[in-house]
Amino acid sequence: MYRNILESHAHYDEKCYAPRLEQVLEEQRQKGVCCIINCGSDVASSHRSVELARRFDMVFAAVGVFPLAVEHLPANWLEEIRALSLEEKVVAIGEIGLDYHAGTQLRQQQIAVFEAQLELAKERNLPIQIHDRDADADTIALVEKHRPRGMVHRFASSPQAGQAFLELGMHLGIGPNITYPEFAHVLETVRAMPLERLVLETDSPFLPPARLAGQISTSDMIGEVAETIAKVRGDCTPQEVLDLACANAKRLFAIS
């Protein structure tokens, strides 16, 4: 069994966990998960993240509005996120970023919402969690402009984009997508990146490893991510990967 599994990005406020959330989190603790950063994606889920962090010792919160929520934002969204960011156990602004998967119709709106939260992160001196889907060029340009600290969550981009994020000082959030053949290109980044910039995640409930595709994921599945990383690198054991990623995330998100 592994220990020191730090889940840097998950959504335990999703309805699928609700009937037995307490048991789920207790099972996660027993399976070696030491800490979970629960991430907001809009105002409501950011509130729920803060509530989870209040309720469970092992849970910390990230608050923010992600790009697919920009169309229906309440007028006071930024004030709400700012107020939440002052709460105890809020360790990041996230998830925030750009998503052009369905097209670039909302590009200007997404950029405006992303930049407002990059400013907020700076003002609050908090790291960020970036959601970048099919939007590498604009995301990299905005990271270069604002120079935040933080992680690119569920990193799935090209080795070139990975290199650009690393050069800008970002951490890369590596998750179970590296166990799927269609994300084999991510292994190139994993093989070459400095392990000091590695953080691990499952984006639960959304991303189980390939052999469990279609199921609800949980944070202990990070063990398989660590096994995959140890295998492609050949310079460390899965437990060493977990230990390092845990220490990296604790440093980045100032969790003691």
Q: Is 243 an interacting residue with respect to Zn ion (CB under 5 A)? A: no
99-113 CB burial, b ≥16 within 10 A, e <16:
bbeeeeebeeebbeb
CB of 39 to Zn ion, least distance (A): 5
CB of 158 to Zn ion, least distance (A): 21
CB of 237 to Zn ion, least distance (A): 28
- Give me the 193-232 binding string for Zn ion, x by CB under 5 A, dash otherwise: ----------x-----------------------------
Instruction: Give the integer Cα–Cα distance in Å for 241 and 222.
Output: 10
**Nearest residue (CB) to Zn ion, 77 versus 243:** 77
CB of 95 to Zn ion, least distance (A): 5
**Nearest residue (CB) to Zn ion, 8 versus 228:** 8
**Nearest residue (CB) to Zn ion, 132 versus 203:** 203
CB of 68 to Zn ion, least distance (A): 11
Q: Is 132 an interacting residue with respect to Zn ion (CB under 5 A)? A: no
CB of 9 to Zn ion, least distance (A): 6
Q: Is 13 an interacting residue with respect to Zn ion (CB under 5 A)? A: no
The alpha-carbon radius of gyration of the chain (Å, integer) is: 17
Q: What is the DSSP string of 195-224?
A: GGGEEE--TTTT---GGGTTSPP-GGGHHH
Instruction: Give the integer Cα–Cα distance in Å for 19 and 38.
Output: 18
- Give me the 154-193 binding string for Zn ion, x by CB under 5 A, dash otherwise: ----------------------------------------
**Nearest residue (CB) to Zn ion, 136 versus 203:** 203
**Nearest residue (CB) to Zn ion, 92 versus 187:** 92
Q: Is 99 an interacting residue with respect to Zn ion (CB under 5 A)? A: no
CB of 161 to Zn ion, least distance (A): 19
Instruction: Give the integer Cα–Cα distance in Å for 99 and 96.
Output: 10
**Nearest residue (CB) to Zn ion, 13 versus 203:** 203
Q: How many other C-beta atoms can be found within 10 angstroms of the C-beta atom of residue 134?
A: 14
CA distances from 90 to 86, 121, 191 (A): 7, 12, 32
Instruction: Give the integer Cα–Cα distance in Å for 246 and 252.
Output: 10
Instruction: Give the integer Cα–Cα distance in Å for 160 and 3.
Output: 32
CA distances from 211 to 33, 178, 179 (A): 21, 12, 8
**Nearest residue (CB) to Zn ion, 25 versus 151:** 151
Applying CB under 5 A, the residues found at the interface with Zn ion are 203
